[in-house]
């Protein structure tokens, strides 16, 4: 990881303080369940992903959907500085992030409603011109892949384009223990290595795009030619 980053030119105003330093990543999770059946794998998946990112040298801030009531008024519906304190604090975390990782279970072939509730509290200007990565899981054999495909549309609309690789964890309760550690069952004893290599494909793409976006913002303000909508959605209409 450090050797790969050392080949990139890091802007001084990026969240990196040195070539081998950290990205500021917002980890947005999507499970509010507390009990089964079946087993609730969300907390162990969240821990595994957060630990994996921290082991790659990054600073992670967890956005927990349990902290959000059902959407009644989004952050952009308030006058500047008038949103509830908790909402303003979360918006600040998201705005200061260099990248986003969304972790979602699959409910009825769709992303978690709790995750969507968090995302829908904020406008695209909060997320725009930064990359995101998608992690899905399920208790069954498909690992939430259909939820991941559906989530790509939402993240693209918010402007935090998802990297091409995704992480899918099928039968998550058999892959991870309650502490978020990989369960070793094979004679080869190589589960940890294989999962690290699998996750590295997604997270290395996220790191590449996050550094590139951060550097280019020093050259061009992306909002000059793509300003924030200040009045109504009709501002995006064709002439």
Give whichever of 36-40, 218-222, 227-231 has the largest mean pLDDT.
218-222
d(CA 147, CA 112): 8
d(CA 26, CA 96): 9
Output the six-digit token pair for 5. 């980053």
Q: Measure Cα distances from 228 to 17, 112, 157, 199 in Å.
A: 29, 27, 13, 34
Q: Is pLDDT at 80 greater than 60 in this prediction?
A: yes
pLDDT band at 75 (very low <50, low <70, confident <90, very high): very high
Q: Is pLDDT at 109 greater than 60 in this prediction?
A: yes
pLDDT above 70: percentage of residues in the chain: 90
Q: Is pLDDT at 188 greater than 50 in this prediction?
A: yes
**pLDDT, position 194:** 95
With beta carbons less than 8 A apart as the criterion, state whether 26 and 97 touch.
Answer: yes
Among 27-41, 87-101, 178-192, 221-235, which is the least confidently predicted range? Answer: 221-235
21-57 pLDDT, tens digit each: 589 999 999 999 988 777 889 999 999 999 999 999 9
Average pLDDT in the 138-157 region? 96
Can you list the alpha helix ranges (DSSP code H) found in 73-190? 85-96, 113-119, 124-127, 145-158, 172-175
**pLDDT, position 19:** 36
164-187 pLDDT, tens digit each: 999 999 999 999 999 999 999 887
With beta carbons less than 8 A apart as the criterion, state whether 45 and 176 touch.
Answer: yes
């Amino acid at each position: 990881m450090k050797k790969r980053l050392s080949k990139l030119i890091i802007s001084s105003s990026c969240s990196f303080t040195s070539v081998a330093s950290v990205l500021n990543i917002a980890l947005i999770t999507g499970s509010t369940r507390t009990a089964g059946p079946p087993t609730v794998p969300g907390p162990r998946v969240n821990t595994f992903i957060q630990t994996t990112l921290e082991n790659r040298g990054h600073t992670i801030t967890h956005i927990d959907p349990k902290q959000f009531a059902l959407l009644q008024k989004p952050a952009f519906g308030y006058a500047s500085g008038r949103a509830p304190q908790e909402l303003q604090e979360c918006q600040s975390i998201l705005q200061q992030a260099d990248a986003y990782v969304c972790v979602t279970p699959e409910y009825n072939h769709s992303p978690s409603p709790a995750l969507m509730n968090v995302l829908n509290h904020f406008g695209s200007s909060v997320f725009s011109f930064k990359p995101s990565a998608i992690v899905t899981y399920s208790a069954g054999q498909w690992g939430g892949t259909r939820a991941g495909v559906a989530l790509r549309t939402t993240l693209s609309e918010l402007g935090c384009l998802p990297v091409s690789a995704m992480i899918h964890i099928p039968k998550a309760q058999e892959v991870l223990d309650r502490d978020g550690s990989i369960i070793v069952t094979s004679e080869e004893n190589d589960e940890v290595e294989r999962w690290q290599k699998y996750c590295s494909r997604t997270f290395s793409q996220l790191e590449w795009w996050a550094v590139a976006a951060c550097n280019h913002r020093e050259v061009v303000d992306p909002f000059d030619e793509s300003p924030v909508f200040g009045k109504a959605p009709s501002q995006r209409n064709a002439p």
